Amino acid sequence: MHELWFTALMNQYLAGPANAVLNAFGQPAANPAKPWTNYMAMELLVIGFLLLLPLLLRPLLSVAKPGTLQQSAEVVWEALRGQAHDVIGHGSDKYIYLFGTLFVFILLSNLLGMIPTFESPTMYPAVPLGIALISFLYYNWAGIAEQGVIGHLKHFAGPVWWLAWFMFPLEIISHCIRPMSLTIRLYANMFAGEEVTLSFLSLAPIVVPVLVMALHFFVSILQAFIFTVLTMVYVGGAVAHEDH
């Protein structure tokens, strides 16, 4: 696998900290001289950008005269907030911060591959899997926090009490499959999109790659939105108060 220039810099100057963390978790790097992989470096780049972005934008924020970027961010925020309310209903605002974080992180990770010499970290299975596990743990935590352990477990039994013995194991299996489903959906779409984009950039005339890049941009937004909405659906199902 080729090493991106940013990954090479990480391995050159930050190999020690990476090896220390990997060894602490009992997962030593196959090559201690190059513990950083492309997806790890790209993921860290996105996280660093998200941490730095508020500091850069803070002087530009204005209530009286919001700029284009601020207005765009507010539109996205309100759209996610409205979608969460439609899916979850009353009390959805307490979960909007996770939904917003998921959407922005996935979107920027998807779009990073459009920049020459960079790659989308979401085209590697480990990154979508990590995000999917966060979604899985969060909606189960939200269900337990809202209804308690017993109330949350009642969701797995289904609405018909005499079918609970049959529904409970099926629901457990279904919920355990969700992280894998989220992972495959995001990974497969981004990997395919990245490969198609690279192929056309190397083979086709100028106009065709522009169209492919536009499609890649659309798919990046769509996949971030789908992942976020599915997380909303899972949270909504976990916190819903229903008679069983």
Angle at Cα 181 formed by Cα 177 and Cα 185, nearest 5°? Answer: 175
pLDDT average per 10 residues of sequence, the chain (244 residues): 90 94 91 94 95 82 78 90 94 94 96 90 96 97 93 82 81 94 95 78 65 86 97 94 58
E-strand spans in 104-228?
none
pLDDT value at position 207? 60
CA–CA distance from 60 to each of 70, 71, 75, 105 (Å)? Answer: 8, 12, 17, 22
Say which DSSP state 113 is in: T
pLDDT value at position 214? 85
- Greatest pairwise CA separation for the chain in angstroms: 64
Domain limits, the chain: 37-54+68-239
- Please report the sign of the dihedral spanned by the C-alpha atoms of residue 82, residue 222, residue 217, residue 109: positive
Q: What's this model's pTM, rounded to 2 decimal places?
A: 0.92
pLDDT value at position 154? 86
